[in-house]
Copies of this chain bind each other. A is one copy, B any other.
Amino acid sequence: MPAKSDKSPSPLSERAQILLRKLVEMHISEAQPVSSRALARETGLDLSPATIRNIMADLEEMGLISAPHTSAGRIPTSRGYRLFVDALLTVQPLDQRSVRDLEGELGQVTDPQQALGKASSLLSNITHLAGLVTIPRRTAVLLRQIEFVPLGENRVLVILVTTDGQVQNRVVNMDRRFAPSELTEAANYFNATYGGQAVRDVRRTLLEDLERDSREMNQLMATARQIARQLFTEDDGEDLMVSGEDNLFDVPELCDLAKLRGLFDAFKAKQDLLQLLDRSMRANHVHIFIGDESGYSVLQDCSVVTAPYKVDGQVIGTLGVIGPTRMSYDRVIPLVDVTARLLGSALKRESS
């Protein structure tokens, strides 16, 4: 006979597992507390509601399920959901057709920024939840090429191409007008000196170089310096892209305005969500935050399913979806997993 209510890590009888699993599945599909009778009817086991009740009482004692009130059925707790996704859930892999579709969608993008946006909107459209994608730090990538284009007045357009295929441009103001030849020369100097370095390092090296060579500075360097000052000062940090927030309007758990509002504020502030997603950077595969596990109160009734995406084996960001804890993990998990891999491939292709 299996130890019944030993302590938290009690092995949970097979019957209890089947029951818990069915209960979670029913709660996911019905969005309501599950009663012993319904469970007795739906599960294959030939047991009476009374027996089910006994087992449910055990599960409740273990903190895996709870009753909103005395005369209601049970709903899974966060810990119940945790056990479910860790041990009870069987995810069927995404069918080839869907993978092909995703691949097609992500394949025809032309630049990384667009790829990230596409990934996010795909996630939200398919799951009907909100899609999340972190935009990798610009500073981590390598500088491939820099170009200067003279605009009117004293303004110069600086184009930064990084090895990930991203293009970035800024307009900088100079103290005098520069001839195209001067700018070409400066660009050549820049490319020769700093090409291939990490953007993050360029900034540091640049400052050192400027310091050291300040006496023997020639016209060329002065130009480069003036541009560089304005170029690398602002450190555009990691950023977050959210799409399909509107889908959350339909989630019954978030029916009250305050909760929904909290989420939208979080999307706007981004800070907390970024930190959460950063945590999954270290993980190698899909990572799931269930309910209050995240530590943020606005995510009370929400779960976040994330996966890091990588280029050349190097993790550079994470993506995922956010939705009610009561979501279809079996569909969401493989989708997030595959999307992360496909996004990685798409980005690699971009960086040619």
- Contact status B159-A110, CB under 8 Å: no
Specify which of B111, B171, B245, B264 is in contact with A110 (CB 8 Å cutoff). B171
Shortest Cβ gap from A201 to chain B (Å):
21
- Residues of B with C-beta under 8 A to A260: 249, 257
Q: Is the CB of A149 within 8 A of B157?
A: no
> CB of A153 within 8 A of chain B?
yes
In the complex, A265 has a CB within 8 A of chain B = yes
Bound-complex Cα distance A260 to B110 (A): 35
Chain B, residue nearest A268 (CB): B246
Let me know if A139 is at the binding interface, CB within 8 A: no
Q: Contact check: which of B151, B161, B265 meets A165 at CB < 8 Å? A: B151
Q: Is the interface of A mostly helix, strand, loop or mixed?
A: mixed
> A157 touching B161 by the CB < 8 A rule?
yes
The answer to whether B169 and A169 touch across the interface, beta carbons within 8 angstroms, is yes
Q: Within 8 Å of chain B (Cβ to Cβ): is A118?
A: no
A313 interface residue per 8 A CB criterion: no
Docked complex Cα distance between A151 and B351 (Å): 10
Is A225 at the interface (CB under 8 A from chain B)?
A: no
Measured between alpha carbons, how far is A147 from B156 in the docked complex, in Å? 13
| A35 contacts the other chain (CB 8 A) | no
With a CB–CB cut-off of 8 A, which chain B residues contact A159?
Answer: 147, 149, 157, 159, 169
Say whether B147 contacts A149, CB under 8 Å: yes
Q: Which of B169, B245, B268 contacts A167 (CB 8 A)?
A: B169
> A165 — which chain B residues lie within 8 A by C-beta?
151, 171
The answer to the question of A41 belonging to the interface, with a C-beta cut-off of 8 Å to chain B, is: no
Does residue A261 face the partner (Cβ distance < 8 Å to B)?
A: yes
A-B contact pairs, 18 of them (CB 8 A): A145-B149, A145-B151, A147-B147, A147-B149, A151-B161, A151-B352, A152-B352, A153-B352, A155-B352, A157-B159, A159-B169, A165-B171, A246-B268, A249-B257, A249-B260, A249-B261, A255-B257, A257-B260
Binding site for B on A (CB under 8 A): 110-111, 145, 147, 149, 151-153, 155, 157, 159, 161, 165, 167, 169-171, 245-246, 249, 255, 257, 260-261, 264-265, 268, 352
